[in-house]
Each structure stands twice: as structure tokens, then as C-alpha cells.
């Protein structure tokens, strides 16, 4: 993200910028929707501040500079203490300069920092009296906010009663998770409402809505607390380290970011803070909720007290802004592409826009039902979201920017690839030929590294095999004969023998790899491993009904029904694989007990309770959550990170990418960095690669 400022040449340009910023702030804080994306607003605000610094005598009263919420929102409920905004930095250099300035102000180095995610929601204050939620108030202009207590019942993580009868005010952010956003939009459009433009817009609209005929959930995450003046609560809320205050709030039953991949951590020194900033930034794309930065606070009460606060922001905290991941641009067209399983996926063609350091010209549109639900039209100004390496997606049209010249999106009548009929019975449309429509893609996927890992079988070779009529699905790979391959162009004896050897090796891959190669919709590498570990054999997977599948971690009723239906469709392919001698068992996995037995009922109870026991509980990593970091050595040196995750899960553990209090074991290789330090601070067991290899030696013998 660039930290450049808009250049304002004269007083007229300055006045226009102030008006534009004020209007954008008013829309943003009222509904969560604005004509400017975050990046554009930040550049405009920096330009305004720069102009005012050079021309202080021309500063307008309506300028957003130095005002909470850009001076946009006003409420009628006074705050216990002002709810301030945060100043921003955009680079490591700016953060280091801010830190040096803070330490000069307090006359000593900052002893410790609290580093936590900057959640992309709406700041609120929740007042509890004797442990019961009494009032919920928006930030407003920082001095007074709006009473939105009517919405509290639909806010997850904000309990009606605390675990103790204390009188306090908890402050935090209300947001929509990705799941809540999708579910909320579906419910909203079913009742005739326009879809929310983005999760923040959804949270803002939901928080202020009254007398709706439907319910939309949001989620609360606390970032602080203070005693109410009349409470008589102990001084711990003001004299304790910020990290301890968050722990206290969590113990009362209120959501904090603890337990999430970006949970708050206590850091010492600028270097350690920067490591955590980088770690949170790298996780951004995989989070179930939006963040737009990292908040860094002086942890000790003495440092916060000596630093003090300005009229707009505290001097002891800063927001380290991440590159923008949302931009507004124009929808130029829609392309219809066919995936390897025959799914017909719409893709948005956009007016190119720079997001998160790259130029975006295309974005996903999910499915036709989603297009209809969001009322997207060609020519719309649309909000586009991108984070990390995630494919950009169109969230919604910015409806108030419509000119009337927008046109409906045309849906295909026939498969755009092969001209066959389209099955429109589900939200995701599909060519009636299914995988046969994209046979090359389907076979190439099955032969890929994370599936059967057939070396030498790239897309070009697959095309040869399909064109020659030798392969009609990937099971046919296991019946190829040497003479057939030698007859193909550019297939000599060495190439042929190497390919046949690779196919023979693939014949003995674990069930998890074979199941993943099937490409069952709604499952991927991790889910395939969980299914294979639970059922142990393909026969048991195929025989399972939806209820049994739901015993696998991460499979709900809808996904279970979809998997059962697709396995029926894949039955002929699975039979061919069995006849070809492909392995259909998962090494080390223990089959579940037969339904109706006492053991089966116990396992079902364990699954419902989130217990890691059950089939495979005697495995060396049973019940353990394992994180791998750094470069592996010895017996683990040649394993990719995905192969390490497979190894962990075959040995009964659960793989994770971040260290938290739920982590049981950290496998720390060379240059382990901050994850090792955090694990040691939390008292989590740390194993060197050699020690871990001994723990899972029996499973290393299985080709990962």
C-alpha cells in the first residue's frame, strides 16, 4: 500500500477535498458504505492534513482532520470516557519513528507492547451493570454515540449476563464474519432487501435496523474495558497491563480475539512487534473476518498514563495499516468458465484497479444465484475484495452510484464449453456431462502433486492420452500398457518406463490422496485426510450416509448431503479404481465402530463435544494440535509443508498454521523465529525435527 497523499494545489482543491472526505465519512460511519474505498479516503485525508500544515490559516471547521470518525457521526448518549480514533502508520520506518517519539514523551523505553488485529467493524461500548448487559452504544463522534441496544440480542460474543456480577464498560468492534455476511445477504434478499455491499456495511446496517421481519447475526470482539464511574470496581481495570485486562474480559465470557489465529500477543521491543505485524498480515487472507491493520498499544498502565491522549487519538496506541484489499471499480462484462467437475462459474471482467500491490482485472462471482441475489448489472460500480493470494471477489454493487445505464447480466442457456444442457437445479450450475466436459483438467488434477503425484504426467501428456482415446477418466491411467504409450509422439522407452513406474507408485497412495483425486465438491486436501482417517477404507466412505459423515470434523448437514450425492455419481469411477488395484485404505487409521454399538455412541458424543478421541486415539499425536515452523532437517527435510500436515494428521494430530493456547506441540526447524518464542512464552512443548521424526517414525515409512 502506498502512503502517498493527495496533492491539493490551491484553496479550491482543498475545500473540495474536505467536502468529499466529509461526505464519504458520513456515509461510512452511518451505513458502512462510501463512494471512496479505504485507500482513497486515507490518501485524501493525508492530503488535507498536509495542506492544513502548510496553510493553517485556511483550515475549515468542517475538516475531518483531528476529529474522531472524521467528525461525521453524532449520537445522543454521552460516553463514560471519550471513544477516540487511532492515528495510522503505513510502514516499518513510520512505526519506528512513532515509537521513538512515544519513548521521548514518557522519558523511557516502552516496557512491553500489546499487538492485536485491527478488526474491520464498528466500535461500540457495552455497559454492564451487576453483570447484566444494560446498554449498547456506538462510538459516534467519540463524545456521544447512538443507543443500539435493540440489536444486542443478535450479537454473538456479547453475553446478556457476565460470569461475574461486575459493573463495567466493555469496548470493542461489532463485525460480520464471512459466514454471517453470506447468510445475512441470503436472508435479506429473500425478504426483498438489497444485498449488503460488504461485511462492514452489513454490520452497520444491521446494528441500526429496527423492526425487521428477520434476524441477522453479527459478532463482537472486545479490545478493552473500563470501570463505570459509579461501579466501585477494583482499580485493576485501569492499573493493570492491557493484556491482563483483555484476559479478564475473556474470563467474564465476552469474545476477544484470543483463540483466533490473530489473537493479541505481548511483545517486547520493536523487532518483535514487527514480526507479529508480519505474521498477522500473512494470515489476513485466511481469516473468517475482515481486518485492515494491526493495533499496537503500550501494555503497561504507567506507560499509557504518562503518554496521555490527544483530542482525537491516544498517544500510546497506533494503527499499523495493511495494504488496501477493497476498491471500487466498474463491472465491464461477465465470462462463463467451466471447471474440471463441470461446474459453470461466472467471472467478472473489471475495469483494471490496483489492490494490495497488484492490478486486478478479473474477480469471482460465485454462482448465478449469487448474481441474482446481489442484483449485479453490467456497468455497475462494484466493491472488489482481495487479500493476499486469494482470488479477488466482487462483493456487491454500490447501488447509489448507478446512472440508469446499467444492463442485466445474460446467463448462458447451454454449456459454454461443449454446448450440452445445463443442470440448474442447484445454486452452482453444472454441465450435464460433468467431468467429461473438462476431462483433461479432471485427469490433470488427479495426477497432481497433492493428489496421486504422478511425475511426468503434465497437461500436455494428458491431452495426448485423451486424444488417443486411451483415457476417459483417471482410473484408465492404471490400465495403460507400454506399447500404447510407445506409440505416442515424443514417448521413447525411457519416458514410457518412467511414467509407468510413477503410475505404479501412485497405485499404492494412501486413501486420503485417492479420495482427494476424486475431486468431490466441498472437499479438499485437509477434508479428504479427515474423511480417510475417520473411515479408514473407501468401502466405508461410500457406504456412509449423511448422518455418519457429519461425525467428521468440519462436515455439516449440507456438505454431508452433497458428498453422499456426489459419491453416488462417482461410484463407477471408484469401482474402476478398485478393479485396477488402487489402494483404498488409509495407513494407521482405525475404522469406526459399527453404528448402534456402545463404542459408536461414545464416539458420537466425543465428536459432539469436540473431543479428539475416537477412531485412532492410540495414535502418537492423538488429540494434539501441531504447528510446524522453520526448515525441516533429517528424515523430514524433503517433505513439503503439505506433506508435513498429512504426516501429522495420519499420526492422529490436527495441523495448524499459527501458535495459540490451543497448540499442543510446535515442531521447530532451523530459523523458527517468532513462533518458537511465542510457544516458549506460552509453555507449549517444542520438538526439534529429529525428535518429531522419532515420534511419528511408523508413519514416515508411508509415502507422504
Show which residues are catalytic: 118
Please give the Cα distance from 657 to 641 (Å, whole number). 10
Please give the Cα distance from 440 to 464 (Å, whole number). 10
Please give the Cα distance from 332 to 227 (Å, whole number). 53
Residues β-bridged to residue 265 = 115
Q: Quick count: other Cβ atoms within 10 Å of Cβ 215? A: 10
- Strand 265-267 to 88-89 pairing: unpaired
Residues β-bridged to residue 531 = none
> What DSSP letter does each residue of 153-205 carry, written as one string?
GGEET--SB-SS---EEEEEEEE--HHHHHHHHHHHHHTTPPPPSSHHHHHHH
Please choose, from the candidates 301, 163, 289, the residue with its C-alpha nearest in 3D space to the C-alpha of residue 243: 301
CA angle, corner 131, sides to 126 and 135, nearest 5?
30
Please choose, from the candidates 513, 516, 557, 511, the residue with its C-alpha nearest in 3D space to the C-alpha of residue 534: 511
Q: Look at the block and give the residue holding cell 517486547.
A: 268
> What DSSP letter does each residue of 310-366 carry, written as one string?
-SSSBTTEEEEEPPP-EEEEEEEEEEEEE-TTSBEEEEEEEEEEEETTEEEEEEE--
Please give the Cα distance from 600 to 475 (Å, whole number). 34
Q: Quick count: other Cβ atoms within 10 Å of Cβ 539? A: 14
| Integer angstrom CA distances of residue 545 from 224, 516, 568 | 46, 19, 11
Q: Quick count: other Cβ atoms within 10 Å of Cβ 153? A: 11
The distance from CA 17 to its chain's CA centroid, rounded to whole angstroms, is: 34
Please give the Cα distance from 300 to 303 (Å, whole number). 5
Please give the Cα distance from 303 to 319 (Å, whole number). 17
Max distance between CA atoms of the chain, in angstroms, equals: 89
Please give the Cα distance from 704 to 701 (Å, whole number). 9
Amino acid at each position: 500500500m502506498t502512503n502517498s497523499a493527495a496533492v491539493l494545489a490551491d484553496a479550491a482543491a482543498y475545500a473540495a477535498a474536505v467536502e468529499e472526505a466529509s461526505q464519504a465519512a458520513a456515509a461510512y460511519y452511518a451505513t458502512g458504505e462510501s463512494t471512496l474505498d479505504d485507500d482513497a479516503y486515507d490518501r485524501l485525508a493525508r492530503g488535507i492534513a498536509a495542506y492544513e500544515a502548510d496553510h493553517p490559516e485556511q483550515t475549515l471547521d468542517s475538516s475531518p482532520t483531528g476529529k474522531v470518525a472524521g467528525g461525521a457521526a453524532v449520537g445522543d448518549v454521552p460516553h463514560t470516557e471519550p471513544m477516540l480514533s487511532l492515528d495510522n502508520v503505513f510502514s516499518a520506518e513510520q512505526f519506528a519513528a512513532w515509537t521513538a517519539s512515544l519513548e521521548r514523551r514518557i522519558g523511557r523505553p516502552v516496557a512491553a507492547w500489546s499487538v492485536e488485529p485491527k478488526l474491520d467493524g464498528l466500535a461500540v461500548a457495552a455497559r454492564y451493570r451487576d453483570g447484566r448487559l444494560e446498554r449498547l452504544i456506538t462510538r459516534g463522534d467519540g463524545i456521544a454515540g447512538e443507543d443500539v441496544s435493540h440489536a444486542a440480542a443478535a450479537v454473538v460474543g456479547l453475553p446478556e449476563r457476565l460470569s461475574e456480577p461486575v459493573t463495567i464498560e466493555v469496548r470493542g468492534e461489532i463485525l460480520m464474519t464471512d459466514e454471517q455476511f453470506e447468510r445475512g445477504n441470503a436472508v435479506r434478499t429473500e425478504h426483498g432487501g438489497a444485498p449488503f455491499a460488504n461485511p462492514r456495511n452489513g454490520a452497520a446496517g444491521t446494528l441500526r435496523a429496527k423492526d425487521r421481519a428477520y434476524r441477522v447475526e453479527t459478532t463482537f470482539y472486545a479490545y478493552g474495558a473500563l470501570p463505570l464511574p459509579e461501579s466501585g470496581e477494583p482499580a485493576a481495570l485501569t492499573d493493570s497491563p492491557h493484556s491482563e485486562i483483555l484476559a479478564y474480559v475473556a474470563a467474564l465470557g465476552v469474545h476477544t480475539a484470543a483463540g483466533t489465529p490473530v489473537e493479541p500477543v505481548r511483545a517486547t521491543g520493536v523487532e518483535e512487534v514487527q514480526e507479529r505485524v508480519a505474521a498477522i498480515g500473512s494470515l489476513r487472507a485466511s481469516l473468517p473476518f475482515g481486518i485492515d491493520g494491526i493495533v499496537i498499544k503500550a501494555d503497561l498502565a504507567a506507560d499509557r498514563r504518562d503518554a496521555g491522549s490527544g483530542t482525537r487519538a491516544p498517544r500510546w496506541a497506533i494503527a499499523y495499516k495493511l495494504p488496501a484489499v477493497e476498491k471500487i471499480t466498474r463491472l465491464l462484462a461477465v465470462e462463463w468458465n467451466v471447471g474440471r467437475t463441470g461446474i459453470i462459474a461466472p467471472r467478472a471482467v473489471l475495469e483494471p484497479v490496483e489492490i494490495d500491490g497488484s492490478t486486478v482485472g478479473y474477480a469471482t462471482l460465485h454462482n448465478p444465484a449469487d448474481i441474482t441475489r446481489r442484483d449485479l448489472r453490467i456497468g455497475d460500480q462494484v466493491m472488489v475484495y482481495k487479500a493476499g493470494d486469494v482470488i479477488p471477489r466482487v462483493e456487491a454493487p454500490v447501488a447509489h452510484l448507478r446512472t440508469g445505464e446499467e444492463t442485466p447480466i445474460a446467463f448462458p442457456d447451454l454449456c459454454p464449453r461443449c454446448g450440452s444442457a445445463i443442470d440448474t437445479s442447484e445454486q452452482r450450475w453444472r454441465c450435464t456431462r460433468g467431468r467429461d466436459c473438462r476431462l483433461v483438467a479432471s485427469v490433470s488434477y488427479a495426477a497432481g502433486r497433492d493428489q496421486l503425484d504422478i511425475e511426468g504426467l503434465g497437461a500436455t501428456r494428458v491431452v495426448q492420452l485423451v486424444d488417443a482415446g486411451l483415457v476417459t477418466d483417471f482410473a484408465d491411467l492404471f490400465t495403460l500398457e507400454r506399447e500404447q504409450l510407445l506409440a505416442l509422439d515424443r514417448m521413447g522407452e525411457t519416458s514410457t518406463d518412467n511414467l509407468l513406474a510413477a503410475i505404479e507408485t501412485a497405485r499404492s497412495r494412501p486413501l486420503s490422496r485417492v479420495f482427494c483425486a476424486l475431486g468431490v465438491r466441498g472437499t479438499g486436501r485437509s477434508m479428504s485426510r479427515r474423511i480417510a482417517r475417520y473411515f479408514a477404507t473407501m468401502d466405508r466412505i461410500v457406504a456412509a450416509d449423511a448422518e455418519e459423515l457429519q461425525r467428521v470434523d468440519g462436515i455439516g448437514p449440507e456438505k454431508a448431503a452433497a458428498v453422499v450425492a456426489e459419491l453416488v455419481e462417482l461410484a463407477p469411477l471408484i469401482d474402476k479404481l478398485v478393479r485396477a488395484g488402487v489402494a483404498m485404505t488409509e495407513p494407521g487409521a482405525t475404522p469406526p465402530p459399527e453404528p448402534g454399538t456402545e463404542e459408536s455412541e461414545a464416539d458420537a458424543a466425543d465428536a459432539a463435544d469436540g473431543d479428539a478421541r475416537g477412531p485412532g486415539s492410540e495414535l502418537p499425536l492423538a488429540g494434539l494440535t501441531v504447528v510446524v515452523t522453520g526448515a525441516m532437517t533429517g528424515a523430514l527435510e524433503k517433505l513439503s509443508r503439505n506433506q508435513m500436515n498429512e504426516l501429522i494428521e495420519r499420526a492422529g494430530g490436527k495441523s495448524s498454521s499459527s501458535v495459540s493456547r490451543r497448540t499442543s506441540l510446535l515442531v521447530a526447524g532451523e530459523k523458527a523465529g517468532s513462533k518458537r518464542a511465542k510457544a516458549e512464552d506460552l509453555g507449549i512443548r517444542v520438538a526439534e525435527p529429529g525428535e518429531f521424526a522419532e515420534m511419528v517414525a511408523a508413519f514416515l515409512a508411508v509415502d507422504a
